[in-house]
A = this chain, B = another copy of it.
């Protein structure tokens, strides 16, 4: 794979940015990787691990001379950072981000960027329940989708270059309308996360069932929820605050259907339950056929030392 950018600036050095650094290096996509993070501790860890060529103190320093700038920070921090780096961006640079919500990022970042840079918001649909600079690894994006949401008048060469960059890290790239992205993600990610957080919170609050019972007997289904509900709290707070309408819409649909099933349980309507549970099997088959999950029982946990 040939080099695509001469200097990539990573603003924020958590799971996504550190994984990008590892993946870029492996594929030789960047001449130089410059990173920064707000916390001195994160910068120190990044220096210790060495996945950047240089770790600098400020975002302003990091973007100097960079032809690609990646905002890999919580959505709530986007406005302030864009304001800070705007005047220091190199002419012709591409700015992108990795936030899970796109309309809010467009509104927070766009106004602070000069006309001579290209802003192409992005979202790699990849992650784990771990966070921070130590959790990154080169394979994170392999066979996963990255969605780009370029504006109508985006420079097509810049979009193509960013697409090749993500493909070089192993991702499959799609472009999408910004609001449609937020709705799709409300269904496939944001609402499922909220529900998982809620279920884990309920289990933890019950007086009649002890925590140790919840933990011991979690293999019966609950533990899958705890994995999702162990994701980064700051990131998820910002997701919900910034994708409010779509999340509330899907939540409304969810509670409507949940109440219908609850009523079927209360009234003993076994046919309703059976039909519903049969129907949902089909979508799982689709996901496996599309290569987006393993068909190994229990995610292949079986037989592994856990």
Contact = CB atoms under 8 A, between A and B. Distances in A.
Contacts of A234: 274
B219 A293 contact: yes
A143 B227 CA distance: 19
A147 B219 CA distance: 13
A237 to B, nearest CB: 4
A156 interface: no
Contacts of A85: none
Interface residues of A, number: 116
Given A184-B209, A284-B227, A219 B277 contact: no
A230 B292 contact: no
B297 A236 contact: no
Contacts of A196: 221, 224
A211 B290 CA distance: 12
A209 B127 CA distance: 22
A193 B214 CA distance: 15
B279 A204 contact: yes
A201 interface: yes
A130 interface: yes
State the oligomeric state as a number of copies.
2
A175 interface: no
A140 B302 contact: yes
A302 B189 contact: no
Given A183-B209, A205-B253, A293-B306, A277 B199 contact: no
Contacts of A139: 302-303
A220 interface: yes
A193 to B, nearest CB: 5
A77 to B, nearest CB: 13
Interface in A87-113: 100
Given A140-B302, A143-B306, A215-B292, 5 more contacts: A125-B217, A223-B293, A224-B227, A233-B274, A293-B306
Interface of A: 76, 100, 125-130, 135, 137, 139-140, 142-145, 147, 174, 183-185, 187-206, 208-209, 211-231, 233-234, 236-238, 240-241, 244, 247-248, 250-251, 253-255, 257-258, 261-262, 264-266, 268, 270, 273-274, 276-287, 290-294, 297-304, 306
